[in-house]
Amino acid sequence: MNRIQVKLQEDKKLLSIYFTAGYPKLNDTVRTIENLESNGVDMVEIGLPFSDPLADGPTIQASSTQALHNGMNSSVLFDQLKDIRKTVTIPLILMGYFNPILQYGVEAFCQKCEEIGIDGLIIPDLPVEVYHEQYQTVFEQHGLLNIFLITPQTSEKRIRYMDSISKGFIYTVSSASTTGSQIGFGKDQTNYFKRIVEMNLDNPQIIGFGISNQETFSQATKYAKGAIIGSAFIKFVSENGVNDLKQFIEPIVKKL
């Protein structure tokens, strides 16, 4: 069973952290993952930087630009992660855009993910139909779960289609905007979360975009299996580095 599937079976709310590979410094990637696990994070999303990150807000865009300037790319990331399973046991998900994967070669990319112990991929600009018709077999041959994103504008028919070909979780985007933290969730967003819950999907949901602290994490996980923090974490490491993440993670983990 895939590590993501095992984690989703745990009787707790899950905290997932997104960070940009190669940021703040090129060689911070492995240290960040190890420190996140040691501080109680349940899953890690490793962002592969891209020059045109359409779904990302200014914080993650800036981190991607810096990481690219630092020299990060697919080959460098795979080299950095080649021994990651000697020290890390939690699920690891690569999040990135499809162009770098195409350039690397989809099958070669998936094979490399399998070799180093990646559990899933989140590719915001890969249409569900294209994945289903052209790439699902390749992903599954290499033990990779593809995680689909839904928004408040995604139709019920499309959500159920994604759910029918998913084997992990549904990434519930809290709003139609780009990534970034916010103060809290309004009535429209909570109604949207409730609507998804009432659909009784086969796959659990994890909410992302707009989660920044214990308060927004608690709000989100009233309606989902877990939540993802990205921009707020990147702001933290921009100011504090990656060696001591306890200050950021502990207040959230204590409430789990």
The owner of tokens 């996140």 is 36
Q: Are 102 and 125 in contact (CB under 8 A)?
A: no
Residue 140 is a catalytic residue: no
Distance CA 198, CA 95 (A): 28
- Helix, strand, coil percentages (3-state) for the chain, rounded to 5, are 45, 15, 40
Distances (CA, A) of 188 to 171, 205, 236: 18, 18, 29
Q: Please pick, among 28, 42, 45, 119, the residue that the annotation labels catalytic.
A: 45
Contacts of 224 (CB under 8 A, 6+ apart): 172, 193, 197, 204, 205, 206, 207
Q: Are 217 and 252 in contact (CB under 8 A)?
A: yes
Residue 56 is a catalytic residue: yes
* Helix (H), strand (E) at residue 63: helix 58-70
Q: Please pick, among 28, 37, 56, 119, the residue that the annotation labels catalytic.
A: 56
DSSP assignment of 94-142? EE--HHHHHHH-HHHHHHHHHHHT--EEE-TTS-HHHIIIIIHHHHHHT
Write out the catalytic residue numbers: 45, 56
